[in-house]
């Protein structure tokens, strides 16, 4: 693996610096405080061609890969302006549509999505299943007309009400009737304003621009044109979305970690107590140095996972380890930075403590670190299954 990124990739990584000149951390926080989606920044990203990073040029995208998407996400997070909706829409749905959709579906949805004219969300999590995706209960029953009627519910769906379509993971065969527990999954493209779709927002304590929702499906009528991929064989498609979700989650954590440490270093160089700048004190230097090391190691693992994904190679182990390492490193980076600021770190003026809830969230979502430990132990190390 070549660790050198080319000139185009370097420009992608540095895009966040130019974006932040117009839409900076203060803009992001203003929107996050009132849970307003930063539409202006999103449209700028669309205009600059980054929504379609992983979409083929034939369908309005840039035709690039997972590594470029990671560099883009990490680059804007480096400036303190992460967009979780870009993980869900631009990667988890649009790239999956590009890979598994019919030509008619790709021509219908992708050019408009790349322009930012329509948006997608991804709906898999259910309250009664949690991380046990096998046990989801949302069911699509076939109709005499060759379509399906979708019933069930989803929870913690990012940007559901703000999106035009949801990529919904459902069962077309109940678990009790399958030969293998991974059989019977089908992915559907569901209009969020369709008859039978209702939503409720979920109040969360973290300041984020994106809202979370519960979605309820009551016999939503779907036709063959709403099916993504093959009926009953959707489980494998999930890994085209879930592994990238972990990779990009890692990119956001490492970016926020760098943003926090950059602010801490600047403050520690300027802040004088006793005989000199506090940055000279090893009690502050060492935690920052350790956090910096862990952030960069996590970033490398995420890049390796992205490279493997682009090569069509298995990347589940690397994607999970990248998310695990980055979430832990991001928390340590923010905590070490917060300590540098002392009491000032808890003020709105300096904005350091505001970084903590987001990085802490990543220990739990999109998948908790305990389950990642289980995955690594079983599938990477060969230990017995623990659950």
What are 291-313's pLDDT values in tens digits? 999 999 999 999 999 999 999 99
Q: Strand pairing of 185-191 and 227-228? A: antiparallel
| Percentage of residues in the chain having pLDDT higher than 70 | 100
Q: Which residue has the tokens 């065969």?
A: 173
Reported as a pLDDT band with limits 50, 70 and 90, residue 348 is very high
For residue 342, pLDDT over 90 is answered with yes
- Give the pLDDT mean for 225-250: 92
For residue 2, pLDDT over 80 is answered with no
| Cis before 380 (ω within 30) | no
Query: What's the pLDDT at 3?
Result: 76
Other CB atoms within 10 Å distance of the CB of residue 211? 20
Other CB atoms within 10 Å distance of the CB of residue 183? 16
Q: Which residues contact 8 (CB under 8 A, 6 or more apart)?
A: 68
Query: What's the pLDDT at 249?
Result: 94
Residue 200, φ and ψ in degrees, nearest 5: -135, 135
Q: Which residues pair with 158 in a beta bridge?
A: 212
Helix (H, G, I), strand (E, B) or coil at 214: strand
Query: What's the pLDDT at 268?
Result: 98
Q: Which residues contact 86 (CB under 8 A, 6 or more apart)?
A: 45, 50, 51, 73
- Write 210-213 long-range contacts (CB < 8 A, 24+): 210/35, 210/37, 210/83, 210/84, 210/85, 210/158, 210/159, 211/35, 211/37, 211/158, 211/159, 211/160, 211/161, 211/162, 212/156, 212/157, 212/158, 213/156, 213/157, 213/158, 213/160, 213/161
Distance CA 190, CA 222 (A): 8
Q: Which CATH number is 236-380's, of 1.20.140.10, 3.10.450.50, 3.30.2010.10, 2.40.440.10? A: 1.20.140.10
Every domain range in the chain assigned CATH 1.10.540.10:
7-118
Whether the pTM exceeds 0.85: the reply is yes
Q: What is the mean pLDDT of the chain?
A: 96
* C-alpha triplet 130, 133, 134: angle, nearest 5°: 130
- Give the pLDDT mean for 90-106: 94
Query: What's the pLDDT at 198?
Result: 98
DSSP letter string, 10-71:
HHHHTHHHHHHHHS-HHHHHHHHHTT---HHHHHHHHHTT-TTTTS-GGGTS----HHHHHH
- Give the pLDDT mean for 347-364: 96
Query: What's the pLDDT at 272?
Result: 96
Token duo for residue 217 = 């499906």
Q: Strand pairing of 120-123 and 165-171? A: parallel
Token duo for residue 76 = 């804007």
For residue 233, pLDDT over 70 is answered with yes
Reported as a pLDDT band with limits 50, 70 and 90, residue 387 is confident
- Give the pLDDT mean for 116-127: 96
For residue 341, pLDDT over 80 is answered with yes
Token duo for residue 253 = 């954590």
For residue 355, pLDDT over 90 is answered with yes
Query: What's the pLDDT at 35?
Result: 93
Domain 121-230 CATH class label: mainly beta
Every domain range in the chain assigned CATH 2.40.110.10:
121-230
Token duo for residue 348 = 């709105």
- Give the pLDDT mean for 117-122: 96
- Give the pLDDT mean for 244-263: 97
Q: Which residues contact 193 (CB under 8 A, 6 or more apart)?
A: 164
Helix (H, G, I), strand (E, B) or coil at 120: strand
Alpha helices in the chain (DSSP H): 7-13, 15-22, 25-33, 39-47, 66-77, 84-86, 94-100, 103-115, 235-270, 282-310, 316-341, 356-361, 369-375
For residue 228, pLDDT over 80 is answered with yes
Reported as a pLDDT band with limits 50, 70 and 90, residue 1 is low
Every domain range in the chain assigned CATH 1.20.140.10:
236-380
For residue 349, pLDDT over 90 is answered with yes
Number of residues that this document lists for the chain: 387
Q: Which residue has the tokens 């952030």?
A: 295
Q: Which CATH number is 7-118's, of 3.50.50.60, 1.20.1250.20, 3.40.50.2300, 1.10.540.10? A: 1.10.540.10
Residue 185, φ and ψ in degrees, nearest 5: -90, 140
| Percentage of residues in the chain having pLDDT higher than 90 | 93
């Amino acid at each position: 693996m070549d660790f050198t990124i080319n000139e185009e990739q370097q420009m992608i990584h540095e895009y966040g610096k130019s974006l932040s000149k117009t839409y900076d951390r203060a803009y992001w926080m203003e929107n996050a405080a009132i849970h307003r989606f930063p539409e202006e920044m999103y449209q700028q990203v669309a205009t600059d061609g980054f929504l379609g990073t992983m979409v083929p040029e034939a369908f309005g995208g840039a035709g690039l890969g997972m590594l470029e998407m990671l560099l883009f996400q990490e680059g804007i997070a480096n400036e303190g302006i992460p967009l979780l909706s870009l993980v869900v829409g631009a990667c988890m749905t649009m790239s999956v549509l590009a890979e598994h959709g019919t030509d008619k579906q790709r021509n219908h949805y992708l050019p408009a999505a790349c322009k930012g004219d329509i948006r997608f969300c991804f709906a898999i999590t259910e309250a009664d299943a949690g991380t046990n995706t096998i046990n989801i209960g949302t069911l699509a029953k076939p109709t005499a007309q060759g379509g399906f009627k979708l019933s069930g519910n989803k929870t913690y769906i990012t940007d559901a009400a703000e999106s035009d379509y949801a990529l919904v993971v459902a069962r077309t065969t109940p678990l009790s009737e399958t030969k293998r527990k991974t059989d019977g999954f089908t992915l559907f493209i569901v209009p969020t304003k369709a008859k039978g779709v209702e939503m409720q927002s979920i109040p969360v304590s973290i300041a984020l621009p994106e809202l979370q929702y519960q979605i309820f499906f009551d016999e939503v009528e779907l036709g063959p044109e709403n099916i993504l991929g093959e009926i009953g064989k959707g489980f494998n498609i999930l890994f085209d979305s879930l592994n990238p979700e972990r990779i990009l989650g890692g990119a956001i954590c490492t970016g926020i970690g760098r943003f926090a440490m950059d602010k801490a270093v600047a403050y520690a160089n300027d802040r004088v107590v006793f005989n000199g700048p506090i940055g000279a004190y090893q009690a502050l230097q060492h935690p920052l140095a350790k956090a910096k090391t862990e952030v960069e190691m996590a970033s490398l693992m995420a890049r390796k996972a992205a490279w493997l994904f682009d090569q069509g190679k298995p990347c589940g182990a690397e994607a999970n380890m990248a998310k695990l390492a980055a979430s832990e490193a991001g928390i340590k980076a923010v905590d070490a930075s917060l300590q540098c600021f002392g009491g000032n770190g808890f003020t709105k003026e300096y904005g350091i403590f505001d970084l903590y809830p987001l990085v802490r969230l990543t220990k739990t979502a999109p998948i908790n670190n305990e389950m990642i430990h289980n995955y690594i132990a079983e599938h990477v190390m060969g230990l017995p299954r623990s659950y």
